Amino acid sequence: MAWYPPAEVKIPWPAIFDSLLSSSGDFNKYLCNYLQVKYCIFGNSGRAVLYLLLKALKRKDKERRDEVLIPGYTCYSVAASAAKAGLKIRVYDIDPQTLSPDLDSLRRSASSRT
């Protein structure tokens, strides 16, 4: 049986309302604690958050890494977010049987700049 990662996090509505009544910093702290993570980024869409994350990663290591690998078969938003973040896009193939990355294609597409 295949395992699929969750597409959402179930946060109880009362917890969200309680946090919203306090400052936004408290909500951020509450959500990080709830998810057991160090940082949280908020955005109005997955595409917006992906852009913010890619932009931050580029800024962190802009001298050495300015490329990103994406699957050849993906939605427009993934490539658009990478391009808007100023990254060069390198494409790899997926295995048609498993839909996971084709490792040979991934190795060929990767470089010291990805």
**Domain count of the fold of the chain:** 1
Q: Tell me if 22 is assigned to some domain.
A: no
Domain that holds residue 94: 59-109
Q: Tell me if 44 is assigned to some domain.
A: no
Q: pLDDT, tens digit, for every residue of 7-49?
A: 666 777 787 777 666 665 677 888 888 889 998 887 888 889 9
How remote is the C-alpha of 33 from its chain's centroid? 20
Q: Tell me if 91 is assigned to some domain.
A: yes
| The predicted structure's pLDDT at residue 6 | 62
Check if the beta carbon of residue 70 is closer than 8 Å to that of residue 110.
Answer: no
| The predicted structure's pLDDT at residue 88 | 94
> Which range is least confidently modeled, 13-17, 21-25, 69-73, 104-108?
21-25
Higher pLDDT, 23 or 89: 89
pLDDT category at 67 given cuts 50, 70, 90 is very high
